Amino acid sequence: MRMSDFPPGTQQGIAAGDLMGDRLLHELEQLHRTRHETFLYGSDDALRRHTERTSELEAEYVRRFPIRMVTAGRTRAGARAREVAARSEASPH
């Protein structure tokens, strides 16, 4: 069943809190993978529902795993370090 087959405002999919850990992560991966296409080509209702479902699943993931692995490069300090390295490489020696 496609998202457009559901009446507007109805719940689709299993509630985030009822998903097992692996399934929750799988659902999040699928939503993240389809986000760009939904943003560019989906109807307003599809984009709204995609956003709602993504928020619901992300909130549940963060609730379950409040302390999660953070890659140093995904922090402000890591971004600054990349900028410094890029400027250093770009400047003549």
Number of independent structural domains in the chain = 1
Instruction: Evaluate the CA torsion angle 24, 33, 69, 76 in order and state its sign.
Output: negative
Q: Give pLDDT, residue 41.
A: 97
Q: Residues in the chain with pLDDT < 70?
A: 1-12, 92-93
The CA distance from 66 to 43, in Å, is 33
Say whether pTM exceeds 0.75.
no
CA dist 31 → 24, 26, 34, 49 (Å)? 11, 9, 5, 11
- pLDDT computed for residue 5 by the predictor: 47
Predicted local distance difference test score (pLDDT) of residue 88? 81
Residue 31: per-residue pLDDT? 95
Task: Write out the residue range of the structural domain in which residue 9 sits.
Answer: 3-90
Q: In angstroms, rounded to a whole number, what is the distance separating the alpha carbons of residues 60 and 12?
A: 16
How many C-beta atoms lie closer than 10 Å to residue 28's C-beta? 18
pLDDT of residue 11: 55
- Cα atoms in the Cβ-side hemisphere of radius 13 Å centred on 33: 6
